[in-house]
Amino acid sequence: MSAATGENRSDARLMLALESSCDETASAIIERDLTVRSNVVASQAELHEKYGGVVPEIASRAHVTNLLPVVQEAVTQAGITLKDIDLIAVVTRPGLVGSLLVGLTAAKTFAATLNVPLIAVDHVQAHLYACRIAAKRDLFPAIGLVVSGGHTNLYLCKSATEYELIGSTIDDAAGEAFDKVAKILKLPYPGGPHIERVAADGNPSAFKFVRTFIKEDRLDFSFSGLKTAVLYQAEGTPGAVKQPPPLDEQRINDLAASFQEAVVDVLVGKCKQALEQYQLQTLLIGGGVAANGRFRSALEEAAQENNFDLHISPREFCTDNAGMAAIAWEHYERGELADLKIDVTPGLVRKS
């Protein structure tokens, strides 16, 4: 792609990055050596809590309100002014169309006003690139897993900017399943942290939940059946004579622990299969579910037992943020600049 404004300059050193793919408005200032000078996030969790999930129209309106203050805070924390910016990066795919458009419109305006290049960033790829930022060295080729509320995708990461989708969920994303199970168990939104919290006091072997596709060669995921199994254990099976006991605190804890263990088993198992199938020794993990402590410890155990190189995104980069948009520097070095006519690509990433 050719640049509609600005030039690819060898002396460029500071990037302003914007992220608005879902329900977090974020901005970061990132140096060319991948140092993140500031990384500011405005969460919308309270706005969506009563609905038990993200409402797209509410999300896009909140981005309009939050974006400029977030940018100003990022600039202030970095100790610079907008005149110091050499490059604008913005997430354009995938995500909610209204949310993405707010960020892209702002990014185009900054690029045109400051006369600097614009770089389009893939949100999912950026989640994996967070591992590269933390490692401070090249990690490619590798297998990458992005696991969040919207995505459960396995990638063959051929280079820092070349990603081939090799596996994905056929129904619910893992993070979405966490949210739905939390609602079943009468836990607050977002569900992931609360499932993990109560699971700490539960028995992960109390319920023998299904591990879908775990023994199959396919690198896909499915969590809808697991969610339904939790529902039946919590509320009973329609029409059944025998119904489960009341949903007391210990039963909630045991259900949460057993559900979490089933998800972790599948995620770790598919990562190991992908490494074996593609004969690679490096695994990258990103996305909101990567913050889960049980998942992280299970990955570390698997890495030790199977002797592969594990890189999990730092927790501050797991949930949506703009710091991980440092991947834009990789595109910049390759001359992959965006035209001001560029549009967003909403929706989820699926295998063809």
The binding site consists of: 123, 127, 146-150, 179, 192, 196, 292, 320
Binding-site positions for Fe cation: 123, 127, 320
Q: Calculate the CA 339 to chain-centre distance.
A: 26
Q: Please identify which residue in the block is written with the tokens 């919308």.
A: 44
Looking at residue 4, its amino acid is: A
Instruction: Kindly state the tokens that stand for 137.
Output: 């060295």
**Smallest Cα–Cα separation from 182: which of 206, 198, 170?**
198
Secondary structure (DSSP) of 277-334 = HHT--EEEEESGGGG-HHHHHHHHHHHHHHT-EEEE--HHHHSS-SGGGGGHHHHHHT
Residue 230: CA count within 13 A, CB half-sphere:
30
Q: Please identify which residue in the block is written with the tokens 């892209």.
A: 104
* DSSP secondary structure code for residue 337 in this structure: P
**Smallest Cα–Cα separation from 13: which of 325, 337, 332?**
332
Binding-site positions for substrate: 146-150, 179, 192, 196, 292
Phi-psi region of 2 (alpha: psi -120 to 50; beta: other; left: phi over 0): beta
